[in-house]
Amino acid sequence: MKKVIVIGAGFSGLSAATELASKGYEVQILEKNDHAGGRARVFQSNGFTFDMGPSWYWMPDIFETYFNRFGKKPADYYDLVRLDPSYSVILSETEKIDLPANYADLKTLFESYEPGAAAQLDAFMEQAAYKYKVGIQDFVWKPSRKITEFLSLKLLIDAIRIDVFSSFYKHIRKFFTSPTLLKLMEFPILFLGAISQNTPAMYSLMNYAEIKLGTWYPMGGMHHIVKGMVALAEEKGVKITYNAEVQGFEIVKGKVIGVKTAAGLQEADAFVAGADYHHVEELLGDGLRNYDEAYWDKRVMAPSSLLFYLGISKRLPNLKHHNLFFDRDFTVHSHEIYTDPAWPSDPLFYASAPSVTDPSVAPEGCENIFLLIPVAPDLEDTEEGREKYFEQLMDRLEAHCGVSIRDSIVYKRSYAHRDFKSDYHAYKGNAYGLANTLLQTAILKPTLKNKHLDNLYYTGQLTVPGPGVPPSLISGIVVATEVDKELKG
């Protein structure tokens, strides 16, 4: 039996490991931290359960496909509920929109902002549905190692039909003019780590995912997905070793023969790195890495985040499960993320309150709150800087909820660049990997195989297909398929 070592127990590492084990390999995951999930880890304090990263469960079909592949379904591991409203958008101190899950109700809402917008939404969604079908069934499953993978006539026609080459910004303005509707429709694009001007229009598939497939929540918290994936991986025979940071590679004649950990050399026939790509490159050193520092420095990284995990000793009125505070100018904020990286002068932010849906994540009568400001990677991250934003966010949250909050905080933890670096070796303290811009799509992304070493592969949010939980699951399957093909010769 051939052995594969997977570095990192994030979504992509767990996915690659499970796929390889189910193909008959002996698989071991070496994970730096003391539990699985990577950016989707969880922690408990004062009776609160905090998901550390992802909070939006989109594309339930991808999770179905993942578990079905191994003869299981998500319901074997966790209970999903569809959120209604899907989320709330705070446009100003006096205007807020709750996005209904029901499509007919959503159309009515659109029509109230712009006459004819309901019909335009239908037309937009028809195209978006096609893009979702082609994008998700075809494009994202490609290993993207050679241009020839995309050179079939059908794929080229599809690439044009799904608007790979034009921007989402232009595309959406063919359908709507209302600034509010444009704001709503551009929101899902933010998940791809770039602004709509730099995102291919094919990603209107994200609107299809959000509007038609819905926003879901696994009861107990997002970490229940990880728990399910770990249980499945172990069922397939994957061994996970925690507190086992990979510190280097042992290389003989163009092949990795083992990875170095504090416990010694761990040998295998092939290696899949699910840890941050750039970090693995640093461990390899010059001559063996795929890309030099100049290459990485030129990449458009998805944003980092300043996060606050808060336990509140009372329930907060006026909050939904997901709350987007889009009550400031996003042009200025996005400029401060992408064009002229700086701490934002007046940021937009996101507040998640899972205790609105799920009483298990907070003590009775309390609220579990997670606040997120998207910020540029590679900023100087200080305690005082974090506090300044905390005070700003508190002012806005208190104004929105209409009650005092500061005096009811029983737990508070902040998290930003420094933590992303120390917990995950995140390049520039990034949160979501590499942005999905046109010039960082498919074969233009960092490739999933090392060019100098015959048996070293990469998976996760810095390679294909991109950032987010569903793409990370796909990335693991895609790389495992390549490893299997090549190990079998």
- Residues contributing to the site for ligand FAD (CB under 6 A): 7-13, 30-33, 38-40, 53-56, 245-246, 274-275, 279, 305, 307, 372, 424-425, 431-433, 460-461, 467-469, 472
349 contacts 393 by C-beta, under 8 angstroms: yes
Residue 223 phi/psi, 5-degree rounding, is -65, -10
CA 257, CA 246: separation in Å to the nearest integer? 13
Categorise residue 124: left if φ over 0, alpha if ψ from -120 to 50, beta otherwise: alpha
CA 10, CA 424: separation in Å to the nearest integer? 10
| Smallest distance from ligand FAD to CB 402, Å | 27
Closer residue to ligand FAD (CB): 30 or 464: 30
3-class DSSP assignment, residue 454: coil
Provide the token pair at 455. Answer: 């048996």
Closer residue to ligand FAD (CB): 229 or 397: 229
Closer residue to ligand FAD (CB): 127 or 305: 305
**Counting every residue, how long is the chain?**
489
Closer residue to ligand FAD (CB): 175 or 187: 187
| Smallest distance from ligand FAD to CB 53, Å | 4
Q: Which residue has the tokens 């309150």?
A: 353
End-to-end CA, the chain: 15
Closer residue to ligand FAD (CB): 107 or 322: 322
| Smallest distance from ligand FAD to CB 436, Å | 11
| Smallest distance from ligand FAD to CB 44, Å | 18
Closer residue to ligand FAD (CB): 109 or 246: 246
Closer residue to ligand FAD (CB): 312 or 434: 434
227 contacts 41 by C-beta, under 8 angstroms: no
| Smallest distance from ligand FAD to CB 73, Å | 19
Closer residue to ligand FAD (CB): 13 or 311: 13
CA 114, CA 128: separation in Å to the nearest integer? 20
CA 291, CA 434: separation in Å to the nearest integer? 14
Which amino acid, 29?
A: I
Which amino acid, 164?
A: V
Closer residue to ligand FAD (CB): 11 or 67: 11
Residue 339, judged by CB atoms within 10 A of its CB (0-12, 13-18, 19+), counts as exposed
| Structure letter (DSSP) for residue 211 | I
CA 246, CA 259: separation in Å to the nearest integer? 6
| Smallest distance from ligand FAD to CB 22, Å | 18
| Smallest distance from ligand FAD to CB 190, Å | 10
| Smallest distance from ligand FAD to CB 210, Å | 11
436 contacts 301 by C-beta, under 8 angstroms: no
C-alpha distance from residue 5 to each of 24, 129, 257, 265 (Å): 14, 38, 11, 12
| Smallest distance from ligand FAD to CB 173, Å | 26
CA 438, CA 459: separation in Å to the nearest integer? 20
Residue 44 phi/psi, 5-degree rounding, is -115, 140
CA 212, CA 42: separation in Å to the nearest integer? 29
| Smallest distance from ligand FAD to CB 233, Å | 13
Closer residue to ligand FAD (CB): 150 or 291: 291
CA 244, CA 247: separation in Å to the nearest integer? 9
Closer residue to ligand FAD (CB): 200 or 468: 468
| Smallest distance from ligand FAD to CB 147, Å | 25
